[in-house]
Structure 1
Amino acid sequence: MTRRRLLILLVVIFVFLQFRLWTGSGSWEQIASLKRDIKSQRQVNAELQRRNERLYSEVDSLKNNLDSIEERARNDMGMIKKGEDFYLIIEGQ
């Protein structure tokens, strides 16, 4: 009789643990989902890191290279040097 109760208790515990293993907190599915999220976040981080490196390079170039400043002024602000002629060509459609 006591062996039967012990066996039933062990089966109930086993079923409960199996249920938690497959569906509960820390389950296999949750772990797989977290691994996918980590992989995705690492890709985003790598992309942002490359962007940051380009920006740092651009800032360094602007700090140390007058040609970069001149190019930026010409492209972004439409500035021209003294004595230069500016021609704006508008293409017709």
Structure 2
Amino acid sequence: MRGPRPLFLITLVLLALLGWLQYRLWFGVGGQRQVGALSEQVDKQKAANTDLQERNDALAAEVRDLKDPSSGGAAIEERARDEFGLIKPGETFYRVVDDRPKPAAPAPAEAEAE
């Protein structure tokens, strides 16, 4: 009766070890759940980085246009007109005002009730 007992203990120890390793793989630190969550965070950060890179590229192009002496200051003039409402000497400024009333937006309390 001495033969099967050590084999049973070895099998039991190996099964316990396998169970512990499986638990660590799926639920432990660095396990599948954590890897999935980190992958999702990486994907979100890559999307944010792409958006920010596009914004940086647009700003860099605008800076190049503003610094470019060959444009004759057209980019600077355009920006001054759009952002500050500046006009050249001798020009006449006209403002077109829409007399139609804007439709009233529903109050926040009414929007939540719907």
Pair 1:84-2:91 in alignment: yes
Identity %: 37
2: distance between equivalents of 1:91 and 1:28?
60
Query: Does 1:67 find its partner at 2:71?
Result: no
TM-score by length of 1: 0.90
With structure 2 as the length reference, what TM-score do the two structures score? Answer: 0.75
Moved over 6 A (4+): none
Corresponding residue pairs, total: 93
Matching of residue 34 in structure 1 with residue 38 in structure 2: yes
1:13 to 6, 17, 20: 17
Task: Name stretches of at least 5 consecutive residues in structure 1 with no aligned partner.
Answer: none
Query: Where in structure 2 are there 5+ consecutive unaligned residues?
Result: 101-114
Output the CA distance in 2 between the equivalents of 1:85 and 1:14.
Answer: 85
CA distance in 2, matches of 1:90, 1:54: 32
Q: Tell which structure's C-alpha radius of gyration is larger.
A: 2
The CA distance in 1 between the partners of 2:30 and 2:76, in whole Å, is 54
- Structure with a larger share of its residues in helix: 1
